[in-house]
Structure 1
Amino acid sequence: MTTATLTLTTRDLRAWLPKYGVYLAIVLLVLYNIFFTPYFLTWSNLRIQLIQVAPVVIVALGMALVIGTEGIDLSVGSVMALAAALIPLYLGYGVAAAVLVSLLAGVAVGLINGVLVARVGLQPIVATLALFVGGRGLAVVISGGQLKDVRNPDLIRLGSGDLLGIPILVWVAAVLVLVVAFVVRRTVFGRRLLAIGGNRRATELAGLPVKRVLITVYVICSVLASIAGLLSVARIQSSDASAVGLLIELSAITAVVVGGTPLTGGRVRVLGTVAGALLMQLVIATMIKHNLPPSTTEIAQAVIILVAVYVARERKAR
């Protein structure tokens, strides 16, 4: 093999890894589990994995949109907690009322984040950090710091019911994936979102409504987090504002980065984000199945994140 051929092969590999590396990692991990993890291919195990990863996927979709604008949203876990705290208070008026109130809470948080970023001019990490801390505190105050059981059968069905043999929670996540993918790829809003992440100054000079798009993006992210909080309450059949969505912002950011969406904005890989969430879920599940300590799982996740960021950095440099 000549030096030129070797160089070409290395260059092709470096170009291929950012796009498809996450899928290769999933395939390799699945193959490992098929051969070395008992009962991995049973439907009960696969069902559990899908149910556990669905809320992360939903939150990661919103995070991907925000990161596509070169932003970040640290408040998504607090939004989930806030939605969880509000649901028991309004279930007496019916499931529709409880769902509506939880979604409106997401809209309110998204508006605050969006206005702070787009109009006040705060850095996204600073703007959303305030609600990362204050939002969960407010949720704990609303709930009285107590875990509250949820016994409404209609709500519980969202978290534990099936449709065509597949959990409803998974169906909801799949529909949201398709909707977000359509918005990013086929709408003017999606193109404007990517343009802002690519070069915000140039987008402003082109006369596009940058501030309005940014506010909308943060609202969408918070609403998706509210949906994830609602579904989490329906799944565990209780509302615990101190635990629901705890540190899920880190899982969402990890899924987005591992899936190939650059932190520098300008690109959103929806399918890659889903794959990133699935990969991290498989890593966690595999280590639990093989009785490895939590510290090992955390180290493995850190290594995966570092590799993903390095690969993305190499791609941008080229």
Structure 2
Amino acid sequence: MSMASTVCSQFRFDPARHGALAALVVILCFNLIVTPNFLHTQTLFVNISQVATIAIVAMGMTIVIATGGIDLSVGAIMALSGALAPLIFLSPFGLANPGLGLAAAIIIPILAALCCGIFNGVMVSYFNVQPIVATLIFFISGRGLAQVLTNGNLQTISNPSFSYLGTGKILGLPFQGWLVLAIALVLWWLVTRSMFGRQLLAVGGNERAARLSGIPVERVKIGAYVICAGLSGLAGLIVVAINSASDAARIGSLMELDAIAAAVVGGTLLQGGRAPIFGAILGAVIIQLVKYTLLANGVADEVALIAKAAIIIGAVYLQQGRRD
């Protein structure tokens, strides 16, 4: 028997483990056959740009879900971060000091996002508020605060250095793609090689046992929400850089759904204890390709929302086979 035959005989398709990859192959094949210009360079760049923001937030969501939590505030944090950037850059300080203004327009929004993550983490860990309720606070108030800061107006920011976050290229590929890879490698190391990662998975796997073993459960949870919020703030800046403008009412809209869907499709268990970072990227690619496929073939955007819901249901069903 040949080596190929041996490998094929030993391989068994497991929907719980290989379902996402199989779905990706099906979507790709469908687009190659049916969708015009699917392999066009511009189409590739647009999809990478859209995938990047979903993937960045989904990786943060994966970290939070690994603790057994959830974060509904990611879209609002994106809006808040995106609103702060042009306000800072176009402030008297920013206009008088372009270099420092640009740095502040990147650093301060991310710091604000990290503060939101601290708030979420403290509410969940020290005040024992259910994660869905704790993060619902910023889900509602975060976007409202962003709109108050901008008076509901569209804010523009035109600066080549800032725009590089959204339109830059390295070796012919969008900068965001390289950024996603860098973040994924850091988070993968954090989850699989660091003490924090082991504690993170222990808390999500069995919080009571983790607490009895001396793991600082509260600090781990806060750390997870801070990571998620920081990545959401970064994603908000990328959206502003792509559009050279900030619309607080639209930035990050429904991103919480995309991020949760991508995380779940990528293999993250909703009950916690598992954090497949690269799986979150795979899930983000699938979510974006489903959206693109439907729109490119004349299907209304509302149907894409239904498709996302169906994907989540299917992924949750397949998760039953992942439980050890």
Specify the TM-score bucket, using the shorter chain as the normaliser: over 0.9
Residue number in structure 1 paired with 2:260: 253
Residue number in structure 1 paired with 2:4: none
Counterpart residue identity of residue 113, structure 2: G
Q: In the alignment, does 2:122 pair up with 1:122?
A: no
Deviations 1:75-116 (A, max 9, x none): 111110110111112111421111110111011101100100
Aligned residue pair count: 305
1:52 aligned to which of 46, 50, 53: 50
Q: Tell me if structure 1 keeps the 8 A contact 2:53–2:239.
A: yes
Counterpart residue identity of residue 51, structure 1: S
Q: Tell me if structure 1 keeps the 8 A contact 2:16–2:321.
A: no
Residue number in structure 2 paired with 1:204: 211
Distance 2:172 2:301 in 1: 32
Report the alpha carbon displacement of residue 170 of structure 1 after superposing the two structures with TM.
1.7
Residue number in structure 2 paired with 1:188: 195
Distance 2:204 2:63 in 1: 10
Distance 1:29 1:123 in 2: 36
Distance 1:294 1:70 in 2: 31
Q: In the alignment, does 2:278 pair up with 1:271?
A: yes
Distance 1:268 1:260 in 2: 8
Task: Give unpaired runs (5+ residues) of structure 1.
Answer: 1-8
Distance 1:257 1:20 in 2: 13
Q: Tell me if structure 1 keeps the 8 A contact 2:201–2:275.
A: yes
Q: In the alignment, does 2:236 pair up with 1:229?
A: yes
Report the alpha carbon displacement of residue 299 of structure 1 after superposing the two structures with TM.
2.4
Q: Tell me if structure 1 keeps the 8 A contact 2:263–2:283.
A: yes
Counterpart residue identity of residue 280, structure 2: T
Distance 1:246 1:262 in 2: 24
Report the alpha carbon displacement of residue 293 of structure 1 after superposing the two structures with TM.
2.0
2:75 aligned to which of 50, 74, 77: 77
Distance 2:194 2:138 in 1: 30
Counterpart residue identity of residue 94, structure 1: G
Residue number in structure 1 paired with 2:6: none
Q: Say which is worse superposed, 205-214 or 296-305, in terms of deviation.
A: 296-305
Distance 1:137 1:302 in 2: 26
- Following TM superposition, the consecutive aligned residue runs of length 4 or more in structure 1 with deviations greater than 6 angstroms are none
3-state secondary structure, aligned to 2:61: helix
Residue number in structure 2 paired with 1:4: none
Distance 2:39 2:68 in 1: 39
RMSD in angstroms over aligned alpha carbons? 1.3
2:162 aligned to which of 155, 158, 162: 155
1:42 aligned to which of 36, 40, 43: 40
Report the alpha carbon displacement of residue 294 of structure 1 after superposing the two structures with TM.
2.3
Distance 1:22 1:218 in 2: 26
- TM-score, length-normalised on structure 2? 0.91
The sequence identity of aligned pairs, in percent, is: 45
Report the alpha carbon displacement of residue 295 of structure 1 after superposing the two structures with TM.
3.2
- TM-score, length-normalised on structure 1? 0.93
2:17 aligned to which of 16, 19, 28: 19
Report the alpha carbon displacement of residue 25 of structure 1 after superposing the two structures with TM.
0.7
Report the alpha carbon displacement of residue 271 of structure 1 after superposing the two structures with TM.
1.4
Counterpart residue identity of residue 88, structure 1: P
3-state secondary structure, aligned to 2:70: coil
